[in-house]
Structure 1
Amino acid sequence: MHHLHRVAFVVTTFIIIVILLTELPRALNPVPPSKEKVDADQRWVNTSPYWLDRQACRWMGLCGLMHLKPDPPERLGFAEEDVCTNADAMRRQSVSSALRGNVRIHMSNETRELRGVPDYVLDYAPLVHLYSEEHFWPSDIEDHIRHVMPYVDDRLLNQTEALDLASLNQLDMHPGVTFLKSNDNVECRPLWLHSAANIPIPFEDGTDEYDVDIGTSERRPLYEYSTWFDVDKEHPLHLLSYPSEQPGRGARIPPFSRRSHASLSRERHRIATRGTQNKPNEEGYSRAPATLILVDKGSGVIDAFWFFFYSYNLGQTVLGTRYGNHVGDWEHAMVRFLAGVPRAIYFSEHEGGQAYAWQAVEKRGNATQSQRPVIYSAVGSHAMYAMPGNHPYVLPFQMLKDVTDRGPLWDPSKNFRSYWYDYSAMEGEGLEPTTENPDAPTGWFHFNGRWGDQMYGLNDRRQWRLFGQYHYVAGPQGPKFKNLGRREVCQSSRCRILHSIAEGMKGSWFS
């Protein structure tokens, strides 16, 4: 009898834990599922060919238990039954190889009046600490599309030519959602997913040549009391009061009114390298270009969105089981400027992010340089944080967390594609290159599809779902769908501007 009580206790405890770990994420979910998502989830559950699996998934949240296996960042060898060499993967690769060739870049001879990147945007460009033991480094979207093919509902779209950035949005002419599906089985970890050739070239002297400043007491009275935090073209800037104090002797001159030695050097560099494919190696330089998108909100407010792309997102582990993998990963930071003066910065994290007042975040620079904000990129997920360390999210008890540290320092201002974007323009318009890269392709920006595989069904050996978290999720949409026209610094209504890193450490994007 005592033995039966013990078994009953263990079973009851197990059921309670499963229910808690399954229901708590749903309760904490900042984006409750719509009816369409609920219906889609039912269809996903029905993809399992096993009745017991479907029932366990519906009633206990345990989906695909028979698929559980280790998921290391790199594959050192293949098991006997490894699908890395299966016929389907080889077929996809052969189809792609026949079409791949060289990705075409459409050069335009059209004469346009293009705008350049303001000096202050580069003066205050962020620096990114990638994780020291990262396995999936920054990628070039031009390289990425060499290794994928477009699918709609698991149907390969017929392509007569290789995909290119200039015309990628033409895939939207097909009905349905287009997914750029990997030609390779991603569990085989093909080299292009890792993008190891794009590891930033390190700063020779480490961080010693920089003054590290976590927060500053510097204030700019002329702008402090205006509505720079909530503005767009239809809601122009307002002063909450009229400061009597004007910048006087010793006040910092806004960067738009000066030409620093650094900016002049950059201009000479642009002229020298314009039209070349191989840029010189520089400290903090990565071969993978970042994407800079500038958005004019009116009233002297400019939002500078720095987008970072990775070919693979490796999810985090809970109790040795990995969740959240997907092909293609877009992350971004946004700096909001008022009259050339930085006021706040936003860090993207998973389905949301955090925003900080400019004076709150860590910066690097010295008396002769602009103070540049420092971002910490989490291992695998590449979510962006204001400080190194552990960053728990979604699941309780810090079971699921991102980890950041002071790994290789990436300077995106060394290599980037840049554009101006008018969010009020008609669909398919509004994006134009800057004078620094007048022939930069634009079609990719308007692509409505996903930059990776569709979420695998339960009939796929690679997929499972436990505690409400999926092993593999769908690839993301691109920068156009990150609410670039938003009035507030934050991407969602749950986010608010934080005024210290300590304040940011008390919660995360969902709390």
Structure 2
Amino acid sequence: MTASKLLSLVSFIAGVLSTPIKRDGIPSFVLDYAPLVYLDTAETYNPGPISSQLLHTAPSVQGGPSPLTLDNLGQLNSLGGSSISLDSTDDFTTYPSWLNGVAPDSTGKVAGGPSSAIIVNDYQNGTVYAFYMYFYNFNLGDKPWILGYYAGNHVGDWEHNAIKFTNGQPESIWYSQHSSGEAFTYAATQKIGQRPVSYSAKGTHANYAQPDTHDHTIPGLNLPFTFVITDTTSQGALWDPTLNSYQYSYHAADNTFTAFDGVSPTSWLDFQGTWGDPQLLTSDSRQRETLGISVTAEWTGGPTGPDDKQLNRPWICAATSCPVYTSLRARDEEEKEEEEEEEEEEEELV
């Protein structure tokens, strides 16, 4: 690390540890332990203001509110619910400049409006789950050598970290990665001060606990070696999502949200559709796909929003139980052991 970069990092740390952006009512520990996010050094598609997506897209149905805003986006549900998509008004395959989002400034802030949402679910028994939702205008997929093109590109991208607190103390952290993710104890994670660090992968924005090359050829399995489909993370620009965020309380009983400041929009959280165009058909000349395998498509569908991220989960993992690693090294060792066991089972069957 150069002297100038070290000085910038020290200045940044001093700033984020002394000036938390807090809304009335949100538990202080939710912000005190909020993750800091390192973007990749080669990142082109930065976080984007959530509202900016509505400036460059239009709903796939007619008859919705006009103009469409974060205050009325949820009204689209009555016109088609989850079948509705927010479709780019530009040809997204030409990579229009708005897809690039906004790079964090020297303080770690993304300008232009909130690009993250912090959602708090208080279980009323000493357990609190805090979800740190990160928005990007675009997801650049991976480029496997076997394909020769980026597969999995899509307009709109939601990723997140989740922290389980017990009596105000951070216990474990979830790092979302594509359709799955990994969990670690708070003690195991890298930190700046007391705030855990999340590494956002180049293009795909999957979240990892350390800088590295991460294989995810097999969905839901982060292999301890590189194979075909990989993510890359490194210490690029440092983003502090709390500096420009919406902050909400989530009520699981009726699946509703309340803004801690009483004025931030909540309708957009109710939107059941996708935040980008649907997957291009193979009949579209702009689409590339290999051997008719859908997962190799160059242009895939946009993601659903925060409401679809298991906000009332019974454990730190997103959908099912999973190992909670007690060290970063333990994750690598356990994945390697699982791979060796699978190979031994295959040999026994031969």
TM bin, normalised by shorter chain, reads: 0.7 to 0.9
Report if aligned partners of 2:109, 2:239 keep a CA contact under 8 Å in 1: yes
CA distance in 2, matches of 1:132, 1:444: 31
Specify the SS of the correspondent of 2:192: strand
The corresponding residue for 1:169 is 74
Amino acid at match of 1:376: Y
Amino acid at match of 1:423: A
Amino acid at match of 2:104: P
Give, in angstroms, the shift of residue 503 of structure 1.
2.1
The corresponding residue for 2:92 is 186
**Deviation digits for residues 353-382 of structure 1, max 9, x if unmatched?**
1010111010111xxxxx110110000000
What is the alpha-carbon root mean square deviation over aligned residues?
Answer: 2.0
The corresponding residue for 1:454 is 278
Report if aligned partners of 1:353, 1:495 keep a CA contact under 8 Å in 2: no
Specify the SS of the correspondent of 1:347: strand
The corresponding residue for 2:207 is 384
Structure possessing the higher radius of gyration over alpha carbons = 1
* 2:36 counterpart (127, 145, 149): 127
Report if aligned partners of 2:39, 2:235 keep a CA contact under 8 Å in 1: yes
**Deviation digits for residues 249-300 of structure 1, max 9, x if unmatched?**
xxxxxxxxxxxxxxxxxxxxxxxxxxxxxxxxxx111115210000012211
The corresponding residue for 2:264 is 440
CA distance in 1, matches of 2:178, 2:65: 36
* Runs of at least 5 residues in structure 2 that lack an aligned partner in the other structure: 1-22, 340-350
Q: Does 1:479 align with 2:302?
A: no
Specify the SS of the correspondent of 2:143: strand
The corresponding residue for 1:350 is 178
The corresponding residue for 1:78 is none
Q: Does 1:423 align with 2:230?
A: no
**Deviation digits for residues 373-406 of structure 1, max 9, x if unmatched?**
0110000000000000100012596111000000
* 1:331 counterpart (151, 154, 159): 159
CA distance in 2, matches of 1:149, 1:415: 25
* 1:116 counterpart (15, 21, 25): 25
Report if aligned partners of 1:137, 1:199 keep a CA contact under 8 Å in 2: yes
The aligned runs of 1:78-227 (5 Å cut-off) are: 116-151=25-60, 156-159=61-64, 161-175=66-80, 177-195=83-101, 198-202=102-106
The corresponding residue for 1:405 is 234
> How many aligned positions are there?
301
* 1:359 counterpart (163, 174, 187): 187
The corresponding residue for 1:302 is 128
Report % sequence identity. 36
The corresponding residue for 1:491 is 318
Amino acid at match of 1:193: L
Specify the SS of the correspondent of 1:318: coil
CA distance in 2, matches of 1:158, 1:129: 41
Specify the SS of the correspondent of 2:134: strand
Amino acid at match of 2:234: D
CA distance in 2, matches of 1:307, 1:505: 26
Give TM-score, length-normalised by structure 2. 0.82
Specify the SS of the correspondent of 2:71: helix
Specify the SS of the correspondent of 1:322: coil
Amino acid at match of 2:209: A
Amino acid at match of 2:241: P
Specify the SS of the correspondent of 1:445: helix
Specify the SS of the correspondent of 2:123: strand
CA distance in 2, matches of 1:500, 1:415: 31
Report if aligned partners of 2:65, 2:75 keep a CA contact under 8 Å in 1: no
Give TM-score, length-normalised by structure 1. 0.57
* 2:150 counterpart (298, 322, 346): 322
Q: Evaluate the alpha carbon distance shift between residue 341 and residue 122 of structure 1 in structure 2; reply closer, same or farther with a 3 A threshold.
A: same
Give, in angstroms, the shift of residue 159 of structure 1.
4.6
Report if aligned partners of 1:364, 1:372 keep a CA contact under 8 Å in 2: yes
Amino acid at match of 1:139: G
CA distance in 2, matches of 1:159, 1:489: 36
Q: Evaluate the alpha carbon distance shift between residue 413 and residue 175 of structure 1 in structure 2; reply closer, same or farther with a 3 A threshold.
A: closer
**Deviation digits for residues 380-438 of structure 1, max 9, x if unmatched?**
0000000001000125961110000000011112111100001111xxx521000xx32
Specify the SS of the correspondent of 2:249: strand
* Runs of at least 5 residues in structure 1 that lack an aligned partner in the other structure: 1-113, 203-282, 366-370
Report if aligned partners of 1:172, 1:449 keep a CA contact under 8 Å in 2: yes
